[in-house]
Structure 1
């Protein structure tokens, strides 16, 4: 999950999320399981003020995600200075990023794809897309970051849906909420998927939050990067350094536009093509 932007004070939710003792308590008292079970019966629903877009909270982790994306607007700078009409969301989780894109741009006709390897998260993204009548946004279930000739791969389902990944190594400083489950998931050639969905349309914003698999994704999505105007990527320090991420982006002609946040575990930055 993302840290707090450098110019902002942390909220009470982000303060709690940074405390290992909180994660241990969640596991010990089964708070995640119990809270999520209750929310699935009676989800919390909220409406975004500008667009009227409605989102729901059905998982404990979604409280933090809603705080980050809708309240603190942590992805806002990826849109800065651009007339955004399209996006690709890699690591979509419950599907809040597409809703934020609509809220920020005022466009319900945004063209986008949202990909996640956790089928439950893809289903939740699909609910948000269908419920808000975002006809040009396509949720996809699968893993990105593999060559096109690889059709299936292992995905690691963590009890905490924000920690699921195509790689199994969890943040050693954040206590796990339970046992990891290995599942076989179809791969997604993201450049081909985009071409099938949007044709030759450029990608105005590409968001990458894949819990430690960012190097593999950047190595295999060169064709997509070549038609992308802004990349916002989270790097996970126990797996990939910022220097490694930046080297891969530099090879595709991108330079850092702005660092949004950084903490001991991860960082988030926006990158733009050199010419821009």
Structure 2
């Protein structure tokens, strides 16, 4: 019995130390240990303090994930010869990526798209909290034309275009991304939960005007995987690529085969030598 209690205490101490070490990464972002603990509990928190500014969030788990990806790992960090780089952010969500870009290049010219009307309003609030008022933020989705589409709202990061209407869908307006690539773009970010192949295929030759591209590739389990074709598009546009897993969708792919939602998510970094 005493041994069992001792083992339990050791596990508790180990978990506390692990949590404290993890918190140290987020402390520089302005999170308190109490707030970090609440976020780790996957609480219903809707307000956070980031770099001393109050912002709105939609999901505590994915918020921490985004903080780690953007501000700690700095996955979107890039070099530019200009102090005013041109950036297009497709799927800007609650605005964290825009805040990252503006901290890196305060004078950057950013065009951003977020089709979920509720999240779009949160993004506007968050950017205002940081005094960012020079971004062209549109409540639209990027697409291969400008026809309205049906969009499934999830309240967080995974909203996406669908074929049929339901109680959780809305009609959204679209823009043709290709029309925005007529001139030099320093950084193009595409994180749109599943439509990336169709859009990149449509952009074709216009991708030659892009210096750096980030694509999060999503494969719905019920659809054919188009990762090979997507990589060919980037290769033909002159990009070298680096690819890594964005999320561990299947622990045992030979058994699971389809995953619970996506069967594959990859972060694709395209750059020029």
TM-score by length of 2: 0.67
In the other structure, the counterpart of 1:162 is 157
Q: Does 1:127 align with 2:128?
A: no
Contact map agreement 1:113 1:194 (CA 8 A) in 2: no
Residue 74 in structure 1 maps to residue 61 in structure 2? no
SS in 2 for 1:112: strand
Q: Which residue of 1 aligns with 2:256?
A: none
Structure 1 residue 243 corresponds to structure 2 residue 217: no
Change (3 A) 1:222 1:124: farther
Counting only pairs closer than 5 Å after superposition, residues 35-54 of structure 1 correspond to structure 2 as 35=44, 38-39=45-46, 43-47=47-51, 54=53
Matches within 5 A, 1:1-276: 35=44, 38-39=45-46, 43-47=47-51, 54=53, 56-60=55-59, 61-76=62-77, 79-80=78-79, 83=82, 85-103=85-103, 105=104, 107-147=105-145, 150-159=146-155, 161-167=156-162, 181-192=168-179, 200=183, 202-222=184-204, 224-238=206-220, 240-256=225-241, 258-262=242-246, 263-264=248-249, 265-273=264-272, 276=273
1:139-186 superposed Cα distances (whole Å, 9 cap, x missing partner): 111121222xx4311111124x111011479xxxxxxxxx97121101
Change over 3 Å in CA distance of 1:56–1:224 after alignment to 2: farther
Q: Which residue number corresponds to residue 51 of structure 1?
A: none
> RCO greater where, 1 or 2, for CA within 8 Å and sep 6 or more?
1
The answer to whether the Cα contact below 8 Å between 2:144 and 2:202 also exists between their aligned partners in 1 is yes
The answer (yes or no) to whether the contact 1:90–1:210 under 8 Å persists in 2 is yes
Note the C-alpha offset of 1:223: 6.3
- d(CA) in 2 for partners of 1:89, 1:271: 15
* Partner secondary structure for residue 73 of structure 1: coil
Flag the structure with larger Rg: 2
Once residues 165 and 154 of structure 1 are traced to their aligned partners in structure 2, the CA distance between those partners, rounded to angstroms, is: 9
1:204: Cα distance to partner? 0.5
Q: Any unmatched runs of 5+ in structure 2?
A: 1-20, 24-40, 250-263
Matches of 2:81 and 2:209 in 1, distance apart?
14
Rounded to whole Å, the distance in 2 between the matches of 1:151 and 1:259 is: 32
Q: Measure how far apart 1:252 and its partner are.
A: 2.8
Aligned residues: 214
Distance 1:55 1:217 in 2: 35
Using the TM superposition, give the Cα deviation of residue 80 of structure 1 relative to its aligned residue in structure 2, in angstroms.
4.4
